[in-house]
Structure 1
Amino acid sequence: MRCKKCGEELEEGAKFCSRCGEPVERQKKKPKKKKESAEVKRPEKKKEAEKYAEKKEKVKKKPEKIGVPAEGSAEMIEKKYEEVMKAEEKEAVSEPASPEVPAEKKRSTVLIVIGVLIFLFVVIAVVGFYYLYYLPSQVVFSDEFETLDSRVWGMLRKGDNLLVKAQGGELVVRNGAVYLKRDVGNDYIIECGVNVIGVSDKNGWGGIIFRMGTSGSYILQLAPDLDRIVLRRHPGYLIVRKDIKLEKGRWYLVAVKAEGENLACFINHKQIIGIKDIGLAKGGVGLESGNATVLFRDFVIK
């Protein structure tokens, strides 16, 4: 007897086809027309059912090539997962890093920033200096000495061979002193161009009087033959003396700042003297020469 499904020769008494596993008993029955393949009726006995299941599994299982995992198997899924992970790692490694800024470009950027900061500092310094020293609203009094107005200036001291006159924007004072008749307060800044053009002896000097009152005054003296500037509290009290290179016939911008007990003296914007003194708290201002001919110009009080 042969298997009706595959044509295999069946052994005597066999219940299943050894080739396709088709039950022999089903071959006696006609398959149902509605279904393309007849359903397999499972045997009732336990052992036969197990054999039936094993043979049916073998029939359903397609032959596969040796060493090649079946599509959808756990081995194939794991293999594909590993391939995907390796590809992602490769892309992550090969991804180009953000380009670094060249060192020269960094250096040039730093230099530009430093240059801008220096420029801003200079601008702020210039503006601050202007507001501190040259803002017109801060000027209390100024005189360019086109003429010598007796209503503004008075004679303070007279010496031998006295000369006091204004000419060409300069005030000439020889062996004498003049004072400003106006009240300028107690705290102020005095600026004036000073030029000692000649001396009658090596101690000759020219200078600025400030905080002048009935009890005395301060006098800042420039002595070019001694290369020295001196701050005195008149009469006769020496406060401080500084050695500094001075020349006859040369203009110097001299400034005095009196603020409370703080006194400061400047030559060409450079501070030479800075002290505290409570001897004289207030008073007027003036210009003086001793044993010398001195030119003054651009007198300003702030």
Structure 2
Amino acid sequence: MGWADRFWTATNWVLDTTVHAVADTMSYCGTLACTLGGAAYALSNVLPLQEVNAAYYGGVHAVGNFSLGINITNLNYNIPEWLPFAYSNQVNNDTPAYNLTDYISLGMVSSMSTICIGSGIVLKTLGANINHWQENREERRFYTHRKGIQISNPQLKEYLYVSAEAFSRSISTVMLSNGVTAAILYFSGRVFPDFTYPPNGEKVHGEHYNGAVITQPFNVTVDLGESNFTVPLYFENLNVLLKKAVDTTVNATYGGGFFIKPNGATQNPSLAVTETVSSTVGISAYLASNFFATKSREMHSERIHDAEASTYTLIDP
């Protein structure tokens, strides 16, 4: 094999690998889009059953001293005083509950589901056809170089079978994703997790807010200034200078979040209907994809058989 043959072999390998990689990527992205689309459709059915409200907690605990410095200036006499104090208070409250659909549009979720499903079907179908086209190129090259047989290109009907198989598998994926997601959402009773700040840590359990909180200590020093006055006495006036200050340590505890929970409405369609339709359509689509795959393989085998038969006829004496 000369250098030219090795060059073209390497070139063909790079091109073949690239085409397959592109086609496989399209197929994988299509499968992912179909999965997301089915899950989004299941989500759109349970959004009207949810409500959201906010709850918060705040607490403060302060311990400190009120310092009072009494200075009788004309006698040069100081009387320091410290008056300890403590203060605590807390608030645990929430807001009214609102339907989740007031904030998340059902139409937007349904549109996203439709776009994902449609895009997934297109990507998966294109990926399957590109792969089939590339496999035919490689097969024709192999039979031509190794066996001297010319295989015909796939007919339109064969590509239609490939497309139908990809379409059916996409629908099967959508139905599987929809059914599984609907069951998980129903039995878990939770569509979205609670969103709190902080997300974890020490917890409080109150009438409204039950979640993690964070505590931050800080020191507060306030100089209340000076004041002076004179106390008249019989023998002498006393000049009094007062120095006032507050020194305290404050522990502030706070936390809050949004909580999503069922509002008591009835699901429509019910879970039984959703699971029945999803399983029926999904299984039917899966069986249909196997049927179309079999038809595609049969047409592929016929092309090879016809090419080999024609070759044998030509060389038969």
Pick the TM interval, shorter chain: under 0.3
Larger-Rg structure: 1
The alignment's TM-score, normalised by the length of structure 1, stands at 0.23
Which structure shows the higher strand fraction?
1
- Select the structure with the greater relative contact order (CA < 8 A; seq sep ≥ 6): 2
The alignment's TM-score, normalised by the length of structure 2, stands at 0.23
Which structure shows the higher helix fraction?
2
